[in-house]
C-alpha cells in the first residue's frame, strides 16, 4: 500500500502533473508513490508485461493505481498503448494533457531484461530492447519536450539508463547499447532544451527489482539496502524545483550512494603532424591510455 501524500500545496511536486512509464512495479512504482506523496497528479503507463515484454496484464496497472488512489493520489491509468509502438507516446502525452490540462514532468522507467549472449540474441529481441529503452525515450523527449516547451513554464524529463551503458554487462549487450544511447540523447537534448527551462537527465540505478533479485550480486544484499525507493528519491529530486540547475547529467544510484557518471578523456599522445605508422601508434599506446 502506498504512503499517504502530502497535504495539498505542501509537497515538492504540488499540483504538478507527472507521466510515469513502467509505473506499476519496481522502480517506476516507487517513483509514482513518492511523486504522489509530494503532491503530483499522475499519468501511469504500464502494460503489466513480463521481463521480456510479453503477456500484458491490465490488472497489474489497475492494482497499482487503486493503491495509489487509496493513499490520496490522483491517477490516470494508461494501459492500451505499448510505449514502443508507433504513435503511442504522442497519444499518451495528449491523453495526459487532455485529462489534467498540463504536463510538468516525465519519468521513463519502462524497460526490458533479455538475458542473452551477443552472439545468440535474435534480431527481434534486439529491436524490442532498443524500441522500449531508447526509441520510446526519444519519442518521450520529442513529444513531451514539445509539450513542455509550448507551455513556457519549463519542466523535467528523467530517462532511465544504467551502469552497463558505461561499463558493459555480460548477457546485456543490447540493453547496454540502448542505455548508452539514452545517455547520449540526454546530453544532447539537455543542450537543446535548456533555454526553454526544460531539464533532461538520466538515472542509472543499481537496485533490487524483479529483474535483478535472482542475480548472484543481490543474493547476500538485504532487500531494503538497494531498494527502488532509493532511486525514487533521486528521481523526485530531479523532477522538483530543487534541481532547476541540473541539466544533462547521468546520475547513478546504488542504495545509499548517489553519484554522477561523466565522460573522461586521457591526455593522450602527441606525435608528429604527419600520420603515424601503425607501429608508431603501438609504441605510443601506453601514453594514449595514461590518465
Structure confidence by residue, pLDDT tens digits, 85-135: 889 999 999 999 999 999 999 999 988 877 888 899 999 999 999 999 999
Which pLDDT value is given to residue 216? 54
Average pLDDT of the residues in 258-270 = 92
Sketch the domain layout of the chain as residue ranges: 17-260, 266-291
- CATH of 17-260 among 3.30.450.20, 3.50.30.60, 3.40.50.720, 3.20.20.370: 3.40.50.720
Which residue, chain included where needed, has cell 526544460?
198
Q: Which residues contact 133 (CB under 8 A, 6 or more apart)?
A: 111, 112, 160, 175, 178, 179, 181, 182
Q: How confident is the model at residue 8 (pLDDT cuts 50, 70, 90)?
A: very low
Percent of the chain topping pLDDT 90: 70
Structure confidence by residue, pLDDT tens digits, 121-161: 999 999 999 999 999 999 999 999 999 999 999 999 999 99
Q: How confident is the model at residue 83 (pLDDT cuts 50, 70, 90)?
A: confident
Whether the pLDDT of residue 176 is over 50: the answer is yes
Whether the pLDDT of residue 82 is over 70: the answer is yes
Q: How confident is the model at residue 4 (pLDDT cuts 50, 70, 90)?
A: very low
Which pLDDT value is given to residue 79? 77
Q: How confident is the model at residue 271 (pLDDT cuts 50, 70, 90)?
A: confident
**What's the whole-number average pLDDT of the chain?**
89
Cα separation of 237 and 114, whole Å? 30
Question: Phi/psi of residue 242, each to 5°?
Answer: -65, -20
Which pLDDT value is given to residue 123? 93
Whether the pLDDT of residue 268 is over 90: the answer is yes
Count CB neighbours of 264 within 10 A. 6
Which pLDDT value is given to residue 208? 64
Q: Decide: 16 and 46 in contact? Cβ < 8 Å.
A: no
- Between residues 52 and 123, which one has the greater pLDDT? 123
Which pLDDT value is given to residue 221? 67
Cα separation of 258 and 207, whole Å? 12
Which pLDDT value is given to residue 6? 44
Give me Rg for the CA atoms of the chain. Answer: 20
Which pLDDT value is given to residue 116? 86
Q: What is the pTM of this model?
A: 0.89
Q: Decide: 96 and 19 in contact? Cβ < 8 Å.
A: yes
Cα atoms found within 13 Å of the Cα of residue 35, Cβ hemisphere only: 33
Which residue, chain included where needed, has cell 504536463?
103
Amino acid at each position: 500500500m502506498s504512503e499517504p501524500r502530502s497535504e495539498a500545496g505542501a509537497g515538492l511536486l504540488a499540483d504538478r502533473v507527472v507521466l510515469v512509464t513502467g509505473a506499476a512495479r519496481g522502480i517506476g512504482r516507487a517513483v509514482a508513490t513518492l511523486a504522489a506523496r509530494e503532491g503530483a497528479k499522475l499519468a501511469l503507463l504500464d502494460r503489466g508485461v513480463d521481463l521480456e515484454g510479453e503477456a500484458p496484464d491490465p490488472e497489474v496497472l489497475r492494482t497499482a493505481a487503486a493503491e495509489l488512489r487509496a493513499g490520496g493520489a490522483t491517477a490516470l491509468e494508461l494501459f492500451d498503448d505499448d510505449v514502443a509502438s508507433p504513435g503511442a507516446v504522442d497519444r499518451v502525452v495528449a491523453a495526459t494533457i487532455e485529462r489534467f490540462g498540463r504536463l510538468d514532468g516525465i519519468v521513463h522507467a519502462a524497460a526490458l531484461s533479455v538475458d542473452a549472449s551477443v552472439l545468440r540474441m535474435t534480431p527481434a529481441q534486439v529491436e524490442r530492447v532498443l524500441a522500449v529503452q531508447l526509441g520510446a525515450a526519444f519519442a518521450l523527449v520529442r513529444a513531451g519536450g514539445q509539450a513542455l516547451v509550448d507551455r513556457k513554464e519549463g519542466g523535467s524529463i528523467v530517462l532511465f539508463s544504467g551502469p552497463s551503458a558505461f561499463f558493459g554487462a555480460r548477457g546485456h549487450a543490447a540493453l547496454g547499447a540502448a542505455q548508452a544511447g539514452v545517455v547520449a540523447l540526454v546530453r544532447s537534448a539537455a543542450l537543446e532544451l535548456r533555454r526553454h527551462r526544460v531539464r533532461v537527465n538520466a538515472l542509472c540505478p543499481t537496485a533490487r527489482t524483479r529483474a535483478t533479485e535472482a542475480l548472484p550480486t543481490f543474493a547476500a544484499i538485504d532487500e531494503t539496502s538497494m531498494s527502488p525507493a532509493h532511486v525514487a528519491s533521486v528521481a523526485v529530486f530531479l523532477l522538483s524545483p530543487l534541481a532547476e540547475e541540473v541539466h544533462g547529467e547521468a546520475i547513478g544510484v546504488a542504495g545509499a550512494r548517489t553519484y554522477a557518471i561523466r565522460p573522461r578523456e586521457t591526455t593522450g599522445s602527441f606525435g608528429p603532424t604527419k600520420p603515424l605508422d601503425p607501429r608508431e601508434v603501438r609504441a605510443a599506446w601506453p601514453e594514449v591510455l595514461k590518465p
